[in-house]
């Protein structure tokens, strides 16, 4: 189960769906994907999600430092989120499949979440504000 959660999270993180950086951050201007070149170079035939994640993992040693740093930062953010929200996740969204629907469940229950979980909850991706 833990493996499924981590794989789902990695899929969302690498595709930028969960922890998007609408204000910029490592790798470039606001809204720019720090791994865009790598996706286009190594994974252009992969479908977004798990397939692209597996592809990027295969080429991890060839990724730019900017892309590697971005992935590491997103994984760190996810770990903080997962740790801070474990009890809330179990209470409000345990029967929701991992992925965008799961994050939507967490956002829909935001008013009930613990203070630590609220602080760790990532903002919705740009253009998808609730």
Element (H, E) at 48: none
Q: Residues 77-93: pLDDT tens digits? A: 888 999 999 999 999 99
Q: What is the pTM of this model?
A: 0.63
40 occurs within a structural domain:
yes
- Determine the structural domain holding residue 48 and report its residue range: 35-120
**Cβ(27)–Cβ(69) below 8 Å:** yes
25 occurs within a structural domain:
no
Q: How far is CA 34 from the centre of its chain?
A: 14
Q: Residues 25-72: pLDDT tens digits? A: 444 455 678 888 998 999 999 888 768 877 887 888 999 999 888 878
| Tokens read off for 34 | 């720090």
Q: How far apart are CA 115 and CA 60, in angstroms?
A: 35
109 occurs within a structural domain:
yes
The count of domains in the chain is: 1
CA atoms within 13 A on the CB side of 105: 16
**Cβ(107)–Cβ(121) below 8 Å:** yes
76 occurs within a structural domain:
yes
64 occurs within a structural domain:
yes
């Amino acid at each position: 189960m833990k493996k499924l959660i981590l794989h789902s999270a990695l899929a969302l993180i690498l595709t930028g769906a969960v922890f998007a950086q609408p204000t910029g951050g490592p790798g470039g201007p606001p809204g720019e994907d720090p791994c865009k070149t790598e996706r286009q170079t190594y994974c252009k035939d992969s479908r977004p999600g798990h397939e692209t994640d597996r592809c990027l993992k295969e080429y991890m040693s060839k990724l730019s430092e900017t892309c590697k740093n971005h992935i590491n930062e997103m994984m760190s953010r996810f770990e903080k989120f997962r740790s801070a929200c474990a009890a809330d996740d179990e209470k409000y969204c345990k029967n929701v499949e991992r992925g965008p629907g799961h994050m939507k469940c967490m956002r829909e229950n935001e008013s009930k979440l613990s203070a630590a979980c609220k602080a760790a909850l990532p903002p919705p991706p740009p253009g998808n504000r609730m």
